[in-house]
Amino acid sequence: MKSTEFEENVLFPVGISLESVISILPTATILIDLDGNIQYANVHALTFLHSPDEDSFYRKVNLNFLLVDTPCLTEMILQIKETKSSLDKISLIRRFDNSVVNVNLFAQYFKSNFEGIILQFTHISANANVFLAKKMSVIKKDITLLKPYLNKPGKDLLEKIASKNLTNCIDNIKPGQKNYLNLVPQNTLTKLSQLYPTFSDSELSLCGLLSLKLNFEEISGITGKTSNALRVLFHRLLKKTEFQISKEFLRKLETL
């Protein structure tokens, strides 16, 4: 049997690029360097992010434009740089049409011909999980054909980027979730809890989302609650604060 040729410091055999592997994954997947600059995105990412075309996407250069909580990306990259590992988190993504979507974000460190991070975005919804579970079973069969040609690090990386994100998303995201505290930066939640200790989780999550400068329509799309119901909740909790005017309270939230 002919031995497989590997270039130095490369996870995949000569002729098999990381981009070609990412292109067959069923999830929206983006490859970035350790400065957050976009190197490659598969077609699912372009579709998921509602990008009008490839040129529009790559003109953005840095991934910061996607995350509603911009510091989140910097913190994530720093953590992955230090640990050389992976992480899962719930994030808010703003797409090209300005719609905001709640996603499960899986980030995996890799080192091939350069150091970088593989990012996968999975829309959090019961229907999306069912679809991806079926899609993944098909993709896994194709991946097994590639594995005999990979070295050990390549096999391990391929297994992680192909399955871990989807598995965590299906196991951990429960339909009908009542609050969205996991979408709000921890330091913001801490400040809110200290300022308003009587607020319920649903009130804290609404204030946290408003602190990210999301409007009621965008929050409605994330939570499934109507914008009118959210406004009623906001005005109800306004009475628990020292503010008389809603705009003043919103400005306070946005400075947290």
> pLDDT tens digits, residue range 159-207?
766 665 454 444 444 444 455 787 888 888 889 999 999 998 888 999 9
Mean pLDDT, range 20-31, rounded to an integer: 84
What is the pLDDT at residue 126?
Answer: 44
The token pair that represents 129 in the structure block: 């999980």
For 92-139, how does the pLDDT look when each residue is reduced to its tens digit (9 = 90+)?
888 888 888 888 888 888 887 778 898 988 877 544 544 555 566 666
pLDDT of residue 16: 60
- For residues 40 and 49, what is the distance between their CA atoms, to the nearest angstrom? 14
- The pLDDT score that the predictor gives to residue 59 is 84
Q: Tell me what the mean pLDDT of segment 209-235 comes to.
A: 88
Which domains, from first to last, does the chain contain?
A: 18-172 (3.30.450.20), 181-254 (1.10.10)
Long-range contacts of 201-207 (CB under 8 A, 24+ apart): 202/178, 202/233, 203/233, 203/237, 203/240, 204/179, 205/179, 205/180, 205/181, 206/230, 206/233, 206/234, 206/237, 207/237, 207/253
Q: Which pTM value belongs to this model?
A: 0.66
Contact 25, 42 (CB under 8 A): yes
Lowest mean pLDDT among 29-38, 145-154, 174-183, 209-218: 174-183
Q: Which of 49-58, 66-75, 228-237 has the lowest mean pLDDT?
A: 66-75
